[in-house]
Amino acid sequence: MPHRDPLFTHSGVDRLHALLNQFVAVRAHSIALAAPLSAEDQCVQSMPDASPTKWHLAHTTWFFETLLLQPFATAYQPFDSDYAYLFNSYYEALGPRHPRPQRGLLTRPALADIHAYRDYVDAAIAALARMDVAQNAVKLDAMLSLLELGLHHEQQHQELLLTDLQHLFSCNPLLPAYRSSRPLRADVPQKFQWLRHPGGVVSIGHEGPGFAFDNETPLHQRLLTPFEIASQPVSCGDFLAFIEDGGYSDPQWWLSEGWAQVQAQSWHAPAYWLAPNDPRHPNETWQVFGLEGVQPLHFNASVAHISFFEAAAYAEWAGARLPTEHEWEAAFGMPGLSGMQGDVWQWTRSAYEPYPGFRPRAGATREYNGKFMVGQQVLRGSSHATPAGHARASYRNFFPPATRWQFAGLRLARDIA
Amino acid sequence: MPHRDPLFTHSGVDRLHALLNQFVAVRAHSIALAAPLSAEDQCVQSMPDASPTKWHLAHTTWFFETLLLQPFATAYQPFDSDYAYLFNSYYEALGPRHPRPQRGLLTRPALADIHAYRDYVDAAIAALARMDVAQNAVKLDAMLSLLELGLHHEQQHQELLLTDLQHLFSCNPLLPAYRSSRPLRADVPQKFQWLRHPGGVVSIGHEGPGFAFDNETPLHQRLLTPFEIASQPVSCGDFLAFIEDGGYSDPQWWLSEGWAQVQAQSWHAPAYWLAPNDPRHPNETWQVFGLEGVQPLHFNASVAHISFFEAAAYAEWAGARLPTEHEWEAAFGMPGLSGMQGDVWQWTRSAYEPYPGFRPRAGATREYNGKFMVGQQVLRGSSHATPAGHARASYRNFFPPATRWQFAGLRLARDIA
Amino acid sequence: MPHRDPLFTHSGVDRLHALLNQFVAVRAHSIALAAPLSAEDQCVQSMPDASPTKWHLAHTTWFFETLLLQPFATAYQPFDSDYAYLFNSYYEALGPRHPRPQRGLLTRPALADIHAYRDYVDAAIAALARMDVAQNAVKLDAMLSLLELGLHHEQQHQELLLTDLQHLFSCNPLLPAYRSSRPLRADVPQKFQWLRHPGGVVSIGHEGPGFAFDNETPLHQRLLTPFEIASQPVSCGDFLAFIEDGGYSDPQWWLSEGWAQVQAQSWHAPAYWLAPNDPRHPNETWQVFGLEGVQPLHFNASVAHISFFEAAAYAEWAGARLPTEHEWEAAFGMPGLSGMQGDVWQWTRSAYEPYPGFRPRAGATREYNGKFMVGQQVLRGSSHATPAGHARASYRNFFPPATRWQFAGLRLARDIA
Amino acid sequence: MPHRDPLFTHSGVDRLHALLNQFVAVRAHSIALAAPLSAEDQCVQSMPDASPTKWHLAHTTWFFETLLLQPFATAYQPFDSDYAYLFNSYYEALGPRHPRPQRGLLTRPALADIHAYRDYVDAAIAALARMDVAQNAVKLDAMLSLLELGLHHEQQHQELLLTDLQHLFSCNPLLPAYRSSRPLRADVPQKFQWLRHPGGVVSIGHEGPGFAFDNETPLHQRLLTPFEIASQPVSCGDFLAFIEDGGYSDPQWWLSEGWAQVQAQSWHAPAYWLAPNDPRHPNETWQVFGLEGVQPLHFNASVAHISFFEAAAYAEWAGARLPTEHEWEAAFGMPGLSGMQGDVWQWTRSAYEPYPGFRPRAGATREYNGKFMVGQQVLRGSSHATPAGHARASYRNFFPPATRWQFAGLRLARDIA
């Protein structure tokens, strides 16, 4: 049964106040994440798939301005009329936009301008509580829904800000660190256990008062075959065994398109791994580049920064397979499972498809999720970079199968013979 | 309950003889398909995804030679030791191969050499009935399984031979015809009906004595929500209404990646459609290029040569959706359904994924299907170009979502509110 | 003083008859060159820069039809109205044309159709002698000029037919031979001599009654510094020393763009050279693929199939340089020089530029040469594949500097200190 | 006769002091050029051909450090051992380097670090006057030669800094201005005059005590045909007439490769020109984006930001041609000529080739010019962005023919009939 969200036990105005408190916290967290970075660091784009920190800060602000302030705050004047073009990401219904691969060319507006933009929009949102709209229950409901969506949207960008930054820094021969080392869990068991799920009809997806993205709906039933799932994600030590067994040079483990990528991109280890004697940062043993700079490979840590292809190849080599996203969700909460949240995203064997009966959100935000439902694989869980409280059991993350710059690993599953 | 294959009611040797009779017929059909073509026509490759007719003739022969004659016909000498390299398609386990985009550069071996190759292999297969292997039931079973697979493999290539040829001819400004017009069904109703399926637990996939590819197994159960499915595929007249309503210039109907393709490729109609006054073959009204050359657009014919993206956009515009492959299979056989076989392949909303408990074939043919299970969409049914008897209700065809050169259209479905 | 062309000592009508005799010979030679090839061999295109044999046969015919028969043979009816589009190469003034990279997709018209086209046009040309035009001296002069150009044009394509075919066959893993071995000169001295030219004012280019392309005109004067030129082209043995000295892995010898090509294309020897133990045709020593199939490397033969970059790098390594095209032409005829014709084309240090006072031909043939005068390097001499009598001292061949599929080598020059 | 450089009338030590004074001025000018820019502006790279301002500031410093301080300042310690990799541009002899297309990813070192680097190196250079090397005349001579080269090198980068910045700002939808408008000459005559040069033997290149790049040597003689040259560069008004006459849509004016570029890049005017009603900055008339932001098109200003192809097409349309670089140099100083310096670079009809007898500089700086001598066209003159005193009559600038982001226009020439 879904968790009861306390916001919904109160009246609409109380919910508004509660959300505005969350708003302050979420907005401050974005600024805190960017704080260690120079204006230069925040401006540059290292590949078309990644965006500059400054762009993340501006785009999340544009989201509130465009979807909340413009329709609901009647006297609202946009901060700058050019920003709608500069900071729209992919909403066709909201007009033309700056090409994605050129986001890093926007040295203007300056970082200080974006900070002023954020302050301006934050003030306007704060003023919402005093607005007439609060008197209109239907409008208030629509507004709260968009405000809540905007908060979760900004949280998604908080994680992307970090993954995009790590990619940028990885392209710099100096391999700079964003932060000092984060503590690693010392208690991770070295060897996972197989946990058995009986299958049968299970409920998948979200329904109820708490927040969920439209792609998690409707709640529906699936019929599962009995299966086993690993108690923890695959570790770096596990994955190293695959590498050392020649996994990256044996086509038998790979999907056809994955093998083509291995050869075309010369993959020989997860992204950001430095093999012994890598000239970029010579060392006798394996190292990993991350937000903490170059660190020794931590064998017990969960492997990350692998593509779906590498996840699937590892599973094949290990005599297992990836779980479907439904198996993953059905297993959530089973005793003995660890790392289901806050460790690494976990590639599943499921393509990103609409649930039976799926209806996207109405209005401009119908483009939020639905239009990406082809050619991508679902990831479940959440990572150490996911803001606290953002994810949940029914959460569906998705990326193209060759994606490597996310905090994405895998958890094994297998059929019961 | 699956159809009982009469082959399996007899002893292994009887099955061998029956399969050998099929073999003769299938092999002759490939030659018949190529008969109207010159050696030049059969040699050229128009894009990396397509193969020359001559290559199809040789590759299907290589399949029998490599997987059947070499392991089972003990005294067998390969026709030409170079052919293993030239005509392996994608089997990593069977050694290196000629690059796919360069298949059209093989002016040697000449077409006559390939005919001699076919004759040589055909004779060797015919001799199998007299071989010792027929005395060994285990070996015989393995051999018969590969012989049967080889026949279905060749039938798949018979359809590809035609789709690839049509693409080649479409690149020729002369827009030549491969054959004279085929008769079109006069009896197709102009307006489809919605047919209701109650949902519930259904059996999906194949089990039993008849032939099926490994990707159709295992037979398993799915839980379906009630749905409606259209009594016939979408017609050219239906699709023209989408075009005339501006469907190709309105992003609201399109998946994000589909919209990107529309713009990058300047799609404005299905592949092979010639708009009025197209300079390649001027006419006042819409025309279609096909194996019959340029013909007037037949409004009642099922639309074909569309990508998954166009199928999904049409469905969205029509206020409906594509069926999942499971819905399609569950509906098979419902009274009132037409065009489920022999008309056009039908894009489904399902990504091509392994069924629960899927195990690929053992040996080299494990690469036949399983390694392609990512990034592709399932098509169901069969087309007018599919050899008679090749397809079945559980048949899963698959192509990347941007594919347009296949005989692929769509059938609508919708949720029951 | 230029050679006196006997054609010009007679009246126009006599010249017409003489040219028609040449016409018969040249046209027959094209057919003879194609005779050993199958229709498949003649249809396929191995890269955008190369054209199929059949296309060469048709395009040279189109040239006569379009530039000679249509304006001058008043009652002439084109063989097929589609051919103007199919077989125009690059003449913007003559209308749109089939895209160059798709010439190999024209399986229709069939080879037999092209032979019929040639016969049809040949007959119409033969009829010219009986036409009224012969009574009009001005028209006759224009016509003879185009007829003569058409013959030299076809001769150019005769060489391209062979270079393009060699490229096609080199892409075939069977590495087939077009002909049996041609005799190699046994008398080539192993070591070249430096021959001294005093420099000063020299005449460059063409003037006078014999044929020349417009790019060889006008005859003009150049002031040369004294220089030395090698008595013969660089041999394969010479070039092997460069390879064995690590020439392909040391940037100091290379122009910047050449070094980029070496790395991007993984060049390590001239095109078509097979290093010892090359898996395509294993052998203990160096071999070369050519029109004769795979042959042992002949040390005394002139090196061919190198780019300008390789020619320039070799010269730098050898402590010398390439001659300018003016030095090469000024040296022509000096005692002791060999290989100035009929061996290999020789890259010069000269970019392909208009001579002072250059005026392109009038009419459609103004596009013949002038519009290519940028980004290309001049080659001088002629090759063993150049039709006899085609080239001359003032002849200017030209290709982009990365070109490797031509019969192109080099001859050294150096300053006199 | 070459200008007598006063530096060379004194002793070596006096020359050193004079050069050090120049050094201070040149180095300060780079900083002054960057002063109006934020750290963000200075970090980003808008295309592989362009470099960030910060990179220019660092690379010019690396040049002095590597070529001057390391060999000559015996106790010198590099500022940072990573910088040799980060800021080497293209010197193969000086080790591996950061890939050119990724220069804009170097958010670290920060701009402040680069300023510190410059100060450190400047101080070390200033200390050279007190060093022992001044006692050794041979060493001193070598050092002075490199110091002088370094100054001219930095001046080249000062112009590139501006052209690269203009390109970056042009990619920003805000079209920001780098500076307020610069005054335009009011006195430019509207109509140019043809000035006659008698041709004959002329001296080309540089010899003597003043500075020149190696590509300007040796001084040598050329034999020129009489010609006429335009008294001034082609103006924007002149060029607009070409546009309005359909010049960009008529292939007859264009070199073949130029016409291909026009179509592939959709060129319809010089780079940075905004046609009437361009959505980026709507206006009824033509405008131009430049370092001053968007300005009305100034008809009398010399046209700039055109490729060689556009220059050649314009000249063809105008019934004229481009001068060769030798004609341009021979004409330098003729009465009535204006705009030979300080206005726009002028594309010539000459490919960039070595002069007869050319010898590159010795040592690492041999790569400075010579290795680029293929595939590029020579530009003569200098632009308004060229630092005062940098260029001279014999100066040879060069770029690939499709280059548009430089301050490059043209001056007409023609043959004398």
Mutant choice from A55, A79, A107 vs D, greatest count of D C-beta within 10 A: A107
The pLDDT of residue A4 is: 42
- Interior CA angle at C28 toward C26 and C29, to 5°? 65
Phi (first) and psi of residue B231, to 5 degrees = -70, -15
Has residue A8 got a pLDDT over 50? no
Specify the pLDDT at position C4: 42
**Cβ contacts of A115 on chain D, cutoff 8 Å:** none
Give the closest residue to D272 by CA, choosing from D184, D344, D168, D157: D168
List CB contacts (< 8 A) between A261 and chain B. none
Q: Which chains touch A (3 or more CB pairs under 8 A)?
A: B, D
Continuous segment of H or E residues that includes residue B34: helix B12-34
Please give the pLDDT value at position C117: 98
User: In the predicted model, what is the mean pLDDT of residues B314-335?
Assistant: 98
DSSP result, A154-202: HHHHHHHHHHHHHHHHHTSTT---SSSPPPPPS---SS--EEEE--EEE
Beta bridge partners of C383: C343
Q: What is the pLDDT of residue D417?
A: 72
- D258, D361: one domain: yes
Same domain, A152 and A237: no
**DSSP characters over D97-145:** ---GGGGGG---S-HHHHHHHHHHHHHHHHGGGGSGGGG-HHHHHHHHH
Burial of B120 (0-12, 13-18, 19+ CB in 10 A): middle
The two tokens of residue A279 are 């000239």
Looking at the fold, whether D83 and D152 belong to one and the same domain comes out as yes
Chain B contact set for C113 (CB, 8 A): none
Report the gap between the CA of B372 and the closest CA in chain A (Å). 6
Q: What percentage of chain D has pLDDT greater than the value 70?
A: 94
Tell me the pLDDT tens digit for each residue of D214-223.
999 999 999 9
Contact residues on chain C for D357, CB-CB shorter than 8 A: 225, 415
Alpha-carbon dihedral B212, B214, B215, B219, rounded to 10 degrees: 70
Helix (H, G, I), strand (E, B) or coil at A280: coil
pLDDT tens-digit profile of A64-122?
A: 999 999 999 988 999 999 999 999 999 999 999 999 999 999 999 999 999 999 999 99
C133 assigned to some structural domain? yes
Asked if A297 contacts A287 with a C-beta cutoff of 8 angstroms, the reply is yes
Q: Are residues A103 and A152 in the same domain?
A: yes
pLDDT for D139 beyond 90: no
Query: Beta-carbon neighbour count of residue C253 at 10 Å?
Result: 24
Closest-CA residue to D142 (of D128, D158, D154): D128
- The C-alpha atoms of residue A111 and residue A116 are separated, in whole angstroms, by 9
Number of H helices and E strands in chain A, helices first, is 11, 12
Are chains B and D in touch, 3+ Cβ pairs below 8 Å? no
Gap from C124 CA to chain D (nearest CA, Å): 31
Average the pLDDT over D405-410 and give the result. 98
Nearest CB to D106 within list A85, A98, A172: A172
Q: Do chains D and C touch (3 or more CB pairs under 8 A)?
A: yes
Asked if residue A96 has a cis previous peptide bond (ω within 30° of 0), the answer is: no
Smallest Cβ–Cβ distance between D255 and the set C201, C223, C374 belongs to: C374
Distance from CA of B40 to the nearest CA of C (A): 5
CATH code for position A212:
3.90.1580.10
As given in the structure block, the two tokens for residue A293 are: 């700079």
- How far does C38 lie from chain B, in Å, by closest CA? 8
Spatial CA neighbour of A349 closest among A288, A296, A410: A410
> What average pLDDT does the segment C244-268 reach?
98
- For residue B293, the number of C-alpha atoms closer than 13 Å in the C-beta half-sphere is 8
Cα–Cα distance, C208 to B77 (Å, whole number):
67
Residue B285 domain flag: yes
Tokens (6 digits) for A386: 């996911």
Selected for mutation to probe chain C from D100, D250, D256 (highest C CB count within 10 Å) is D256
The span from the CA of D72 to the CA of D142, in Å, is: 9
Q: How many domains does chain B have?
A: 2
Q: Confidence band (pLDDT; 50, 70, 90) for D9? A: very low
Chain D neighbors of C259, CB-CB under 8 A: 92, 371
Does D104 sit within 8 Å of A172, measured CB to CB? Answer: no
- Mean pLDDT computed over B390-395: 97
Residue A208 has what pLDDT? 86
Q: Name subunits touching D (3+ CB pairs < 8 A).
A: A, C
D78-96: average pLDDT: 96
Among D43, D111, D176, beta carbon nearest to A108: D176
Q: Is the pLDDT of residue A333 over 90?
A: yes
pLDDT at A1: 36
Q: How far apart are the C-alpha atoms of C161 and C37, rounded to whole Å?
A: 11
Q: In this structure, are A204 and A159 located in the same domain?
A: no
Q: Which residue has the tokens 């946009």?
A: A78
Q: Under a CB-based contact definition with an 8 Å cutoff, are residues D372 and D352 in contact? A: yes
pLDDT digits (tens, 9 = 90+) for B253-288: 999 999 999 999 999 999 999 999 999 999 999 999
Query: What is the pLDDT, as a whole number, of residue D233?
Result: 98
The pTM score is 0.96
Residues from B contacting A (CB-CB < 8 Å) are 90, 92-93, 201, 220-225, 251-252, 254-259, 308-309, 312, 321, 324, 349-351, 353-354, 356-357, 367, 371-375, 377, 401, 415
CB pairs under 8 A between A and D: 75
Judge B/A contact: 3 or more CB pairs < 8 A: yes
Alpha-carbon torsion (A142, A148, A151, A157), positive or negative: negative
- Residues B241 and B255: beta-carbon distance below 8 Å: no
The residue count for chain B: 417
Among chain D residues, the shortest Cα distance to A87 is held by: D173
Q: Looking at beta carbons, which residues of chain A come within 8 Å of D44? A: 43-44, 104-105, 107
Question: Mean per-residue pLDDT for B381-407?
Answer: 97
**Between helices D12-34 and D53-64, what is the axis angle to 10°?**
170
Q: Are residues D357 and D300 in the same domain?
A: yes
Q: Comparing C-alpha atoms, which of B16, B82, B89, B50 is closest to residue B364?
A: B89
Give, as one character, the DSSP assignment of residue B131. S
How far is CA C243 from its chain centroid? Answer: 27
Minimum distance, in Å, between the CA of residue A280 and any CA atom of chain D: 11
Between the alpha carbon of residue A175 and those of residues A180, A276, D39, D108, the distances in Å are: 13, 16, 20, 9
Give me the half-sphere count of Cα atoms (radius 13 Å) on the Cβ side of residue D56.
Answer: 29
Per-residue pLDDT reduced to its tens digit, C280-292: 999 999 999 999 9
Classify B401 as helix, strand or coil: coil
The answer to whether position B189 is within a domain reads no
Q: Do the beta carbons of residue A179 and residue A54 sit within 8 Å?
A: no
Average pLDDT over residues C97-125: 97
Looking at the structure, do residues D157 and D250 belong to the same domain, yes or no? no
Please list every residue in chain A whose beta carbon sits closer than 8 Å to the beta carbon of residue D106.
172
Distance from the first to the final alpha carbon of chain D: 31
pLDDT at residue B123 is higher than 50: yes
Q: Measured between beta carbons, which residues in chain A are less than 8 angstroms from residue B93?
A: 251-252
| Domain closes at, from A138, A170, A202 | A170
Let me know if residue D149 belongs to a domain: yes
The answer to whether residues A198 and A336 belong to one domain is: yes
Taking CA atoms, what residue in B is nearest to A202? B223
Same domain, A312 and A163: no
Helix then strand then coil, % of chain D, to nearest 5: 40, 10, 45
Nearest to D82 by CA among A276, A41, A176, A286: A176
Chains with at least 3 CB pairs less than 8 angstroms from chain B: A, C
Domain of residue C119, CATH code: 1.20.120
Domain that holds residue A396: 194-415
Chain D residue with the nearest C-alpha to that of A82: D174
Residue C5 has pLDDT above 50, yes or no: no
> Does A39 reside within a domain?
yes
Residue B166 sits in the same domain as residue B217: no
The bridge status of strand B194-197 relative to strand B377-380 is unpaired
Let me know whether A346 and A208 are in one domain.
yes
> What percent of chain C stands above pLDDT 90?
88
pLDDT at D209 over 90: no
Whether B188 maps to a domain, the answer reads no
Tokens read off for D83: 């910088």
Backbone torsions φ then ψ of D290, nearest 5 degrees: -150, -165
| pLDDT value, residue B189 | 56
Confidence of residue D7 (pLDDT cuts 50, 70, 90): very low
When CB atoms are compared, the residue of A201, A225, A375 closest to B257 is A375
- At C64-79, the pLDDT tens digits run 999 999 999 988 999 9
Residue of A259, A260, A64 lying closest to A157 (CA atoms): A64
State residue A188's pLDDT score: 58
Residue A43 to residue D85, Cβ atoms within 8 A: no
Residue of C358, C374, C378, C416 best to disrupt the D interface, most CBs of D under 10 A: C374
Residue C162 and residue C200 in one domain: no
The verdict on residue A189 lying in a domain is no
The yes/no answer to whether this complex scores an ipTM above 0.90 is yes
Answer yes or no: is D275 within a domain. yes
pLDDT at C184 (0 to 100): 61
Contacts of C99 in chain D (CB under 8 A): none
Can you give the C-alpha Rg of chain C in angstroms?
22
- Residue pair B393/B334 in contact (Cβ under 8 Å)? The answer is no
Residues of A in contact with D171 (CB under 8 A): 102, 105
Closest by Cβ to D108, choosing from A82, A107, A176: A176
| B3 pLDDT more than 50 | no
CA dist D61 and D83 (Å) reads: 10
**N-to-C CA span, chain B:** 31
Q: What are phi and psi of C151, to 5 degrees?
A: -70, -45
CA distance A108 to chain B (A): 28
Contacting residues of C for D92, CB less than 8 Å apart: 251-252, 259
Q: Which among A258, A369, A359, A348 has a CA at the least distance from the CA of A309?
A: A258
Q: Which residues of C touch B (CB under 8 A)?
A: 38-44, 46, 82, 85-86, 98, 102, 104-111, 168, 171-174, 176
Q: Cα separation of D265 and B17, whole Å?
A: 64
What's the number of CA atoms in the CB half-sphere (13 Å) around residue C399? Answer: 23
Do B307 and B401 contact (CB within 8 A), yes or no? yes
Which of B170, B185, B219 is a domain's end point? B170
Of D201, D255, D415, nearest to C357 by CB-CB distance is: D415
Residue C273 banded pLDDT, cuts 50, 70, 90: very high
Contact A374 B401 (CB under 8 A): yes
**pLDDT for B184 beyond 80:** no
